[in-house]
Amino acid sequence: MTSLKRHARRSAAYDPDCRRCPRLARYLEATRLSHADYWARPVPSFGARAPRLLLVGLAPGLHGANRTGRPFTGDYAGILLYRTLYELGLASAPESQSASDALRLIDVRIVNSVKCVPPGNKPLPAEIRRCNRYLKEELERLSAVRVYLALGRIAHDALLMARGLKRTRFPFAHGREHALGEARWLIDSYHCSRYNTQTRRLTPEMFREVMARACERADLRRAGPG
């Protein structure tokens, strides 16, 4: 994990040694004991430094980002995500397996609402609130962002919390678009989880459509790979 540690520098928007959530800290400690080769610490964001499109996810998966150290890698949810980004010309490859591979994102960055893996993939409300300070700091740094694409209701709510906006004014629904002012938009999507795709709640066509709309709102004209 030495190469991973190099990209995890502490900042106002990220602390690789954060232990603000006792339950999550204990879970990470147990994970490091049972999986010595896992990243097993807060997962940093990934992508362009000055993106126009920001994807907001839920939290690292136990055997996905918690293992690799990069959001949406190494598990099922990342398959559809990175493939769609590649098809729209926003990723240099259709898949990412680890934080050390050569994949790069173009005009896009991925953040999570909670940076540590939660038991059962379900963070507690208090954990979302504690981690929101990091999301808030990152949003303030990413001044070029024109569109936030929230992957699921938790991401939607966390983004609004970080922006200091009331949830009642911006109800979540797949494909719904919310004008946030300052020429910025929030667009909602169902999360690209295995459950949602296998139950057809979210199809690849639905996900590509909402991603393409986010690109349009962000004025990203890349039509395909390369």
- Domain-located, residue 224: no
**What are the residue ranges in the chain where pLDDT is below 70?**
1-10, 222-226
User: What pLDDT score was predicted for residue 74?
Assistant: 86
The answer to whether the CB of 68 falls within 8 A of the CB of 193 is no
Torsion sign (Cα): 159, 163, 167, 173:
negative
In the prediction, which pLDDT does 13 show? Answer: 83
Domain coverage including residue 161:
26-217
pLDDT one-digit tens code per residue, 134-191: 999 999 999 999 999 999 999 999 999 999 999 999 999 999 999 998 899 999 999 9
pLDDT at 50: 97
- List 148's β-bridge partners, or say none: 54, 186
Residue 13 lies in a domain: no
**Within a domain: 19:** no
User: Coil, helix or strand for 148?
Assistant: strand
Pairing of strands 46-47, 108-112: antiparallel
Q: Is residue 170 part of a domain?
A: yes
Q: Which of 20, 8, 84, 89 is nearest to 46 (CA)?
A: 8
**Could you tell me if residue 199 is inside a domain?**
yes
Residue 11 lies in a domain: no
Domain count, the chain: 1
60: CATH: 3.40.470.10
Which of 71, 62, 73 minimizes the C-alpha distance to 95? 73
CA 184 to CA 203: how far, in whole Å? 26
Residue 42: predicted pLDDT: 97
pLDDT at 207 (0 to 100): 97
